[in-house]
């Protein structure tokens, strides 16, 4: 790997490029995948937190921090080629540490809810941290979104990647077993943000890793996401109870406001007179993905078109479920990048995962990782434009 230390505006940057040769004539405008690193801030204990900038061959750019593996910004072109940020988030590390609704982070050990923070495994009842009323949400009080990951950039394959590793100790947030986790973000030269997840354990434990990006394809979060046209490759979803825990029913989509088999503006049915929508204050449910094959390749799960900008995003995954959360709890309390106030439905999450509360539903695909087995999962957010207007 070729390395170069640059000093820009007083801060040291480690520049890694995908090309081994001609390093001395490296030109900032050259079309080349690269990763740069800068110190972004400090934890209260003085630990430095870094911000990595991944740039692909076409100039798309993702800024990712090793605090929570958070994608802080993601610049993609609109139909006129204008690069703008398509994810919600904050400008500073301090704001992420203070209070974030999981903006852009890695979620683990268990993405989504586990009822009453309890599950039974091989005759033992485990008690997890309760951080969502009486339930456990997104890995607990200090989940993978709030830990410091060991980060190693990689451009050896000609693409900009960031390898993140974390060892979650036995008993963390109540989970059994030491869990070794690796997450690789790659901003591919096909304009995809590709996320691969790997894990191994020394005791049986539930694992359900996901990414919690809030997308707003207008660019710079100009307005809410109700005009975004969404399709989900699914025939059924999981109804929930008042605590947003699946009841165990698998409900067909036909004739319900949850039917996104063909592209539909998110705002079309969101206020429909429907108990499920009322309970979640909008969409906050898990869709069962139609194309999923256990152990198979990533399949198309969802598409999103923002008609004004022409930005189009496809979501591909190896996971069986997709949590579509329409940003119902963004109530104007967060001031994001560029001073934008994030109101209700200012961002949408498409979280690829196994089903919520699986450890308590034996009819759901298992989320239990066994010693000797290798957890692996891939999700791709692919960006392009559709010029329909
Ligand atoms: C959940 C929401 C929750 C949000 C937290 C989503 O994944 O489905 O219910 O409020 O995360 O920001």
Among 136, 212, 285, 361, the active-site one is 212
- Which residue's alpha carbon is at the smallest distance from atom 10 of ligand 1? 329
What average pLDDT does this structure show over 243-269? 97
What average pLDDT does this structure show over 326-353? 97
Q: Write down the domain spans for the chain.
A: 1-30, 33-385
Closest ligand 1 atom to residue 112 Cα is 7
Q: Catalytic annotation on 212?
A: yes
- Which residue's alpha carbon is at the smallest distance from atom 6 of ligand 1? 325
Q: What is the largest CA-CA distance in the chain?
A: 64
- Which residue's alpha carbon is at the smallest distance from atom 4 of ligand 1? 101
Question: And the tokens for 296?
Answer: 């198979």
Q: Catalytic annotation on 211?
A: no
Q: How far is the CA of 326 from the centre of ligand 1 (A)?
A: 9
How far, in whole angstroms, is CA 56 from its chain's centroid? 19
CB 142 within 8 A of CB 102: no
Instruction: Compute the half-sphere exposure of residue 326: CA atoms within 13 Å on the CB side of its CA.
Output: 25
**Considering the chain, what is the average pLDDT of its residues?**
93
Of 286, 192, 183, which Cα lies nearest the Cα of 232?
Answer: 286
Helix (H, G, I), strand (E, B) or coil at 115: helix
Q: How far is the CA of 351 from the centre of ligand 1 (A)?
A: 10
Confidence of residue 355 (pLDDT cuts 50, 70, 90): very high
User: What angle (nearest 5°) sits at the alpha carbon of residue 98, between those of residues 70 and 134?
Assistant: 90
pLDDT at residue 386 is higher than 90 = yes
Q: How far is the CA of 282 from the centre of ligand 1 (A)?
A: 12
**Domain boundaries 33-385, corresponding CATH code:** 2.70.98.10
**pLDDT (tens digit per residue) in 124-162:** 999 999 999 999 999 999 999 999 999 999 999 999 999
Distances from the Cα of 334 to the Cα of 170, 186, 211, 226, 296, angstroms: 34, 28, 20, 19, 39
Among 136, 351, 354, 361, the active-site one is 351
Q: How far is the CA of 97 from the centre of ligand 1 (A)?
A: 17
Of 106, 121, 181, 212, which Cα lies nearest the Cα of 375?
Answer: 181
Distances from the Cα of 76 to the Cα of 173, 211, 306, angstroms: 36, 18, 13
pTM exceeds 0.85: yes
* Dihedral sign for Cα atoms in the order 92, 5, 191, 25: positive
What dihedral do alpha carbons 228, 230, 236, 239 form, nearest 10°? -10
Distances from the Cα of 358 to the Cα of 106, 113, 142, 320, 354, angstroms: 19, 9, 21, 12, 7
CB 309 within 8 A of CB 217: yes
**pLDDT (tens digit per residue) in 13-56:** 344 444 333 333 345 556 899 999 999 999 999 999 999 999 99
Q: Which of 138, 211, 277, 354 to mutate to test the pocket of ligand 1 (most atoms within 8 A of CB)?
A: 138
- Which residue's alpha carbon is at the smallest distance from atom 9 of ligand 1? 284
Ligand 1 site, CB within 6 A: 101-102, 244, 284, 323, 325, 329, 349, 351
CA distance 237 to 287: 4
Q: Which of 88, 111, 325, 345 to mutate to test the pocket of ligand 1 (most atoms within 8 A of CB)?
A: 325
CA distance 153 to 156: 9
Q: What is the per-residue DSSP string for 278-305?
A: HHHTS-EEEEEETT--TT---EEEEEEE
Q: How far is the CA of 374 from the centre of ligand 1 (A)?
A: 27
**pLDDT (tens digit per residue) in 62-100:** 999 999 999 999 999 999 999 999 999 999 999 999 999
Q: How far is the CA of 192 from the centre of ligand 1 (A)?
A: 24
């Amino acid at each position: 790997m070729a390395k170069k230390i640059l000093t820009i505006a007083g801060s040291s940057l480690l520049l890694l490029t995908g090309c081994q040769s001609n390093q001395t004539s490296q030109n900032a405008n050259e079309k080349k995948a690269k990763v740069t690193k800068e110190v972004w801030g400090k934890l209260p204990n003085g630990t430095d937190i870094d911000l990595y900038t991944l740039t692909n061959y076409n100039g798309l750019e993702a800024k990712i921090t090793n605090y929570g593996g958070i994608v802080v910004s993601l610049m993609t072109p609109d139909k006129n080629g204008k690069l703008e940020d398509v994810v919600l988030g904050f400008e500073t590390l301090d704001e992420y540490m203070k209070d974030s609704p999981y903006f852009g982070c890695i979620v683990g050990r268990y993405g989504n809810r586990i009822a009453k923070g309890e599950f039974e495994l091989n005759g033992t009842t485990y008690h997890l941290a309760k951080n969502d009323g009486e339930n456990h949400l997104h890995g607990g009080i200090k989940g993978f979104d709030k830990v410091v990951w060991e980060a190693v950039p990689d451009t050896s394959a000609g693409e900009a990647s960031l390898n993140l590793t974390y060892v979650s100790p036995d008993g963390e947030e109540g989970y059994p077993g030491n869990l070794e986790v690796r997450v690789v973000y790659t901003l591919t030269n096909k304009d995809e943000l590709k996320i691969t997840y790997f894990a191994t354990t020394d005791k049986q434990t539930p694992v359900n890793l996901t990414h919690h990006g809030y997308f707003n394809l207008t660019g710079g979060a100009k307005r809410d996401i109700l005009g975004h046209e969404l399709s989900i490759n699914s025939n059924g979803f999981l109804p929930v109870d008042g605590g947003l825990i699946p009841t165990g029913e698998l409900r067909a989509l036909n004739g319900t406001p949850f039917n996104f088999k063909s592209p539909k503006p998110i705002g079309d049915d969101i206020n429909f007179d429907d108990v499920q929508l009322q309970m979640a204050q909008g969409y906050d449910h898990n869709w069962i993905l139609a194309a999923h094959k256990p152990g198979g390749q990533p399949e198309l799960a969802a598409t999103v078109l923002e008609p004004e900008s022409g930005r189009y995003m496809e979501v591909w995954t190896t996971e069986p479920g997709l949590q579509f959360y329409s940003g119902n709890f963004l109530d104007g309390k967060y001031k994001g990048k560029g001073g934008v106030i994030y109101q209700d439905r200012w961002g949408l999450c498409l979280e690829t995962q196994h089903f919520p509360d699986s450890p308590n539903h034996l009819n759901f695909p298992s989320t239990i990782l066994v010693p000797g087995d290798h957890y692996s999962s891939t999700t791709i957010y692919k960006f392009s434009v559709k010029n329909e207007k």
